[in-house]
Structure 1
Amino acid sequence: MRTSTRRCRAAAGALAAVALLTGCAGQGADDAGAVAAAFEDDAADPADRCALLTPATLTALESEESASCADAIGQIPLQGGAVEGVEVWGGNAQVRLSGDTVFLTETAAGWRVVAAACQARGEAPYDCEVES
């Protein structure tokens, strides 16, 4: 009897851990989706949108466009739209919007955009207009 009680307790503990981890993944997905949607919102303040970029992506955007991020962000063909799906792998996420795909990483300040205005190319890596 003791062995079956231990197995039940172990199974209950494992189920609780899975439920806890699933809840965390869901929250991370919600947060990543919200950041991607805010970044893609062309009605948002350009400085606020720039603040959602990782430092490396911000530097790359400004270098590539030879302008400040706030000036360059309006030139990027962001298609945005509704969040259609979010996948989170540890500290990284892919958010599929109706018109775009955005890649994010989790930082101490929350989710930040690593790449945006990304289009799938079959088996090849995504082609992104904004990336580090």
Structure 2
Amino acid sequence: MPADLRKRPRMPCLAVCGAALLTLVSLTGCAGRGSVENSAVDDAAGRFISAASTEPAKACDTLAPATLDSIASDDEECATAIADLGVETLRADGPELRAQVYGRDAIVQWEDQTMFLARFDSGWLVTAAGCTPRGKDLPYDCSIEGR
């Protein structure tokens, strides 16, 4: 063995393996958090869709504060406004394509519409619903949305 290789200190396997294990644990910890949040987002979206079709007043309880203010801003109660939109507008046809969480915001997409949610102290609340894309790089057109 050449003399210069014998003089270099070797990093023990324990340090290298420990660093690799720490990185792996931190990465899987982040991945696991997303799946827990996705489930909570799915539940919140499902509660809104279900309540909108059967009990519009309960659907109002799942709206974010700004969204609630916006939908009830025309001297109309929230429950009446949701009922006036009709179940067809707020349906979620087909299987859920995906729920994705981005920090305190989330998006749930079905075949024909999209819903946006945000995490508050009380849990996940709907910020916009009945949304359809208007085209690339354009904002969604939503039946219910906050300001």
Mean Cα displacement is larger for which, 34-43 or 13-22? 34-43
Q: Where is the strand percentage greater, Structure 1 or Structure 2?
A: 1
The one-character-per-residue Cα deviations of 1:86-130 (angstroms, maximum 9, x if unpaired) are: 111001000012442100000110100000110012211111111
> Which portions of structure 1, spanning 4 or more consecutive aligned residues, are displaced by more than 4 angstroms?
none
Rounded to whole Å, the distance in 1 between the matches of 2:12 and 2:103 is 35
Q: TM-score w.r.t. structure 1 length?
A: 0.90
Larger Rg over CA atoms:
2
The one-character-per-residue Cα deviations of 1:74-95 (angstroms, maximum 9, x if unpaired) are: 1222122342211110010000
CA RMSD of aligned residues (A): 1.6
Question: Which amino acid in structure 1 is aligned with residue 67 of structure 2?
Answer: T
Residue of 9, 22, 44 corresponding to 2:31: 22
Q: Secondary structure, in 3 states, of the residue corresponding to 1:125?
A: coil
Question: 2:115 — aligned with what?
Answer: 102
Q: Is the 8 A contact 1:115 1:128 kept in 2?
A: yes
| Equivalent residues, number | 131
> Where does the alignment leave 5 or more consecutive residues of structure 2 unmatched?
1-9
Question: 2:7 — aligned with what?
Answer: none
Change (3 A) 1:28 1:44: farther
Rounded to whole Å, the distance in 2 between the matches of 1:91 and 1:3 is 41
> Where does the alignment leave 5 or more consecutive residues of structure 1 unmatched?
none
Identity of matched residues, %: 31
Counterparts of 1:106-117 in structure 2, within 5 Å, are 106-117=119-130
